[in-house]
Amino acid sequence: MKLTKLFKRCLLLVVFVVIVAFVFSRLSFQKSTICQNDQKFRIQGKTVYINSPENSQIFHAVISADPNTFDCVSDFPWGWKDNSYLYNTDGRIINGIDPYTFRQIGGPYYKDKSNVFFYTEVVNQADMATFKHVGGWYAKDKAQVFYRDRIVIGADVSTFALLESGGKVSGSYAKDNNNYYYNGNVVNENEVSF
């Protein structure tokens, strides 16, 4: 009889401690924010915590992040930024990108003060002033056509366009005056289907 009473008291104490710990953990964050794609971050003291991409209820610390300037990136749903860095969804620093000037050009293409990017990969030889998203993973500037972060060799910039069929535009198939393309590679016309 006494053992059962003691067990109930211990069980109640454990439940009470768990509830208090849960409530305290929720109240102790100075800032809690939900960004695009339901990504969340919290600031506690001088530490920034971001949610795991696999489980939005699990948070881990971003050691190098500045809690005073850490925030969502408005048009980049795969990361975060602070005054010094752009971070991926895992909280790792993405080197070589200026977080202040990083912005979307269109689709998966972005730029900062120095480079054009396909997501976070530098698009070498891109002319920043004339670079524009064509559609899908294609882009072009005044001199070249790009697929993802590479140049589409031999593509005619002035006539290059995505293919359309039945009112649907393909993000993979394109054409210019000389060739048909699939994912940035030249294909025969009879290989085009979508």
How does pLDDT run across 125-140, given as a tens digit for each residue? 999 999 999 999 999 9
Q: How far apart are CA 42 and CA 49, in angstroms?
A: 5
Question: What is the pLDDT averaged over residues 62-88?
Answer: 88
The residue among 115 and 55 whose pLDDT is bigger is 115
Is the pLDDT assigned to residue 107 strictly greater than 70?
Answer: yes
pTM: 0.75
pLDDT recorded at residue 160? 97
- Residue for token pair 């300037």: 69
With a cut of 80, say whether residue 14 has pLDDT above it: no
The number of CA neighbours under 13 Å toward the Cβ of 86 is 23
Separate counts of helices (H) and strands (E) for the chain: 1, 20
Given a contact cutoff of 8 angstroms between Cβ atoms, the answer to whether 65 and 46 are in contact is no
Higher pLDDT, 93 or 31: 93
